Amino acid sequence: MVPRRVSIFGATGSIGQNTLDLIRRDREAFRVVALSGGQNIAQLAADAHEFGAEVAVTADPARLDDLRAALTGSSTEAAAGAEALAEAASRPADWIMSAIVGIAGLVPGLAALAHGSTLALANKESLVAAGPLLMETAQRHGARILPVDSEHSAVFQALQGEDIGTVERVVITASGGAFRDWPLAALARATPEQAATHPNWNMGQRITIDSASMFNKALEIIETHEFFALAPDRIEVLVHPQSLVHALVGFRDGAMMAHMGAPDMRHAIGYALYWPERRMLPVARLDLAAVGTLEFSTPDPERYPALGLAREAMRLGGLAGAVLNGAKEHALTAFIEGRIGFTDMAGIVAEVLEAFGRTPGHINAAMTLDNITTIDRMARDAAERLIAGAGVGRQGAGRQG
Ligand code: NDP
Ligand code: MG
């Protein structure tokens, strides 16, 4: 059997490491072309060495010498920077994992699709900011995008053999994050450390905090809209503290297909890795009798204002997803750095979105990579002005010191 050529962008992260775990268990079936990372040079070099990667890329040009040094004696090429990432994504591969965190995943994802590679998409930010551009690039080059986000993998699986035209609604579930049982009044004082612990999933720091604020679910509503071309009013969110039902698809005859499984990303990654086949995967099997009860409830809009912001971005359309994502990424960084409070994040994103909505010229610009990059930068600048100025940060000011 000819090994499949695979590349992993964001290899040093949570999704990347889980992907390598699956590849390690089926070593003969794969040949690793490119691996990318950011600051974790030791992990990147160790994996490049173990898997005999053709090229290892760090996103940070300042770390190139470190990477070269760490790769001494191996046959792996070292490269660094945004252009090197795009070049590595252009190398012929059958399957490419897009697992960089943030908008930095967009360019390598587009490059992979433009070369006809199948893109396993964990990087939801690129779909939120540039969904139509990604989908259109895939279509033009006969490339396929497979969802890796667990909810979207679940919907995708529930839709196998079904006609999307018969779908009435899609329900994606949310655990409720770290603070689902906290009194509302306490949220403003929540610290990044508290927000970065997830009750059910083990993920990277940024997505874990986004789970606590439900910005993660907000991004996922838009991701569902873009990926499955579903109208916003057909997409619902339920809080489901057990995280065992990942999504449900409701059809016009009243049937609902639920996708269940242990909260382990290796299921969704493995499904995308072997699609259209189903292979044995090393994930825990559910014992529903032991679980006993599954709970569902409607998310409280006051606790989770991010969900309403996703609806607003979809209503505005055009490049509003890029505005939401850029402002959110910037506000999240500010929260992690202790510059603003937990509940300030939604306030900042709301204000930025509102400002762009008032003068819609920018969000109505054509969906090109240039325009997305520009509006992403503008949204971050607008968020920063709010953080630095008097307007936002009132609640957060001085809280973390
Ligand atoms: P991690 O933070 O664990 O990993 C992020 C990866 O991206 C690392 O390899 C990191 O390198 C790299 N990276 C960070 N910043 C940049 C940058 N500016 N340019 C290029 N590379 C960069 O994140 P996760 O694995 O948790 O998430 C990855 C993506 O998958 C996100 O889009 C997330 O929303 C999505 N996702 C994750 C899930 C999960 O279970 N973790 C579930 C569903 C979706 P380094 O660490 O070396 O600095
Ligand atoms: Mg998810």
d(CA 41, ligand 1 centre) in Å: 14
- As a whole number, mean pLDDT of residues 275-287 equals 98
Task: Kindly identify the ligand whose nearest atom is closest to the C-alpha of 10.
Answer: 1
Task: Please choose from 7, 14, 40 the residue to mutate so as to test ligand 1's pocket, defined by most ligand atoms within 8 A of CB.
Answer: 14
Over the stretch 264-278, which tens digit does the pLDDT of each residue have?
999 999 999 999 999
Task: Kindly identify the ligand whose nearest atom is closest to the C-alpha of 124.
Answer: 1
Q: Is residue 109 a contact partner of residue 119, using CB atoms and an 8 Å limit?
A: yes
Task: Kindly identify the ligand whose nearest atom is closest to the C-alpha of 220.
Answer: 2
Number of the ligand 1 atom closest to the C-alpha atom of 201: 40
d(CA 310, ligand 2 centre) in Å: 15
Task: Kindly identify the ligand whose nearest atom is closest to the C-alpha of 155.
Answer: 2
Give 390's pLDDT tier (boundaries 50, 70, 90): low
> Which CATH number applies to 4-147?
3.40.50.720
What lines the ligand 1 site, CB under 6 Å?
10-16, 37-40, 59, 99-102, 104, 122-125, 149, 201, 203-207, 265
pTM of the model: 0.96
**Spatial separation of the C-alpha atoms in residues 286 and 280, rounded to whole Å:** 15
Chain position carrying tokens 């697992």: 99
Task: Please choose from 60, 207, 217 the residue to mutate so as to test ligand 1's pocket, defined by most ligand atoms within 8 A of CB.
Answer: 207
**Spatial separation of the C-alpha atoms in residues 129 and 349, rounded to whole Å:** 14
d(CA 37, ligand 1 centre) in Å: 9
The pairing of strands 245-251 and 256-260 is antiparallel
Neighbour-count burial for 30-67, b at 16+ CB within 10 Å, e otherwise: bbbbbbbbbebbebbbebbbebebbbbbbbbeebbebb
* Closest protein CA for atom 45 of ligand 1: 38
* Closest protein CA for atom 16 of ligand 1: 38
d(CA 149, ligand 2 centre) in Å: 5
Q: What percent of the chain has pLDDT over 90?
A: 95
> What single-letter amino acid sits at 106?
L
What phi and psi, each to the nearest 5 degrees, are found at residue 387? -65, -45
Is residue 396 pLDDT above 70, yes or no? no
**Spatial separation of the C-alpha atoms in residues 385 and 277, rounded to whole Å:** 50
**Spatial separation of the C-alpha atoms in residues 183 and 304, rounded to whole Å:** 13
- As a whole number, mean pLDDT of residues 5-27 equals 98
- As a whole number, mean pLDDT of residues 24-38 equals 98
pLDDT computed for residue 400 by the predictor: 33
In 10 A of CB 219, how many CB atoms? 25
Alpha helix ranges (H) inside 71-171 = 82-90, 106-114, 124-140, 150-158
d(CA 220, ligand 2 centre) in Å: 7
d(CA 38, ligand 1 centre) in Å: 9
Is residue 133 pLDDT above 50, yes or no? yes
Number of the ligand 1 atom closest to the C-alpha atom of 149: 43
Largest CA distance in the chain: 63
Which residues make beta-bridge pairs with 79?
Answer: 57
Is residue 398 pLDDT above 80, yes or no? no
Which residues make beta-bridge pairs with 245?
Answer: 260
Enumerate the domain spans of the chain.
Answer: 4-147
Going across the sheet that includes 245-251, the strands are 235-239, 167-174, 245-251, 256-260
Over the stretch 215-265, which tens digit does the pLDDT of each residue have?
999 999 999 999 999 999 999 999 999 999 999 999 999 999 999 999 999
Number of the ligand 1 atom closest to the C-alpha atom of 17: 25
d(CA 147, ligand 2 centre) in Å: 10
Number of the ligand 1 atom closest to the C-alpha atom of 207: 34
What phi and psi, each to the nearest 5 degrees, are found at residue 314? -70, -35
What phi and psi, each to the nearest 5 degrees, are found at residue 270? -65, -35
d(CA 15, ligand 1 centre) in Å: 7
Over the stretch 69-121, which tens digit does the pLDDT of each residue have?
999 999 999 999 999 999 999 999 999 999 999 999 999 999 999 999 999 99
* Closest protein CA for atom 39 of ligand 1: 203
* Closest protein CA for atom 9 of ligand 1: 10
Task: Please choose from 9, 17, 100 the residue to mutate so as to test ligand 1's pocket, defined by most ligand atoms within 8 A of CB.
Answer: 100
Task: Kindly identify the ligand whose nearest atom is closest to the C-alpha of 265.
Answer: 1
Number of the ligand 1 atom closest to the C-alpha atom of 40: 47
DSSP for 311-347, please give it: HHHHHH-TTHHHHHHHHHHHHHHHHHTTSS-TTHHHH
* Closest protein CA for atom 7 of ligand 1: 100
Is residue 391 pLDDT above 60, yes or no? no
Q: Which two tokens stand for residue 128?
A: 């939120």
* Closest protein CA for atom 32 of ligand 1: 123
Over the stretch 317-374, which tens digit does the pLDDT of each residue have?
999 999 999 999 999 999 999 999 999 999 999 999 999 999 989 999 999 999 999 9
Over the stretch 142-164, which tens digit does the pLDDT of each residue have?
999 999 999 999 999 999 999 99
Q: Please provide the average confidence, as pLDDT, over all residues in the chain.
A: 96
pLDDT computed for residue 395 by the predictor: 40
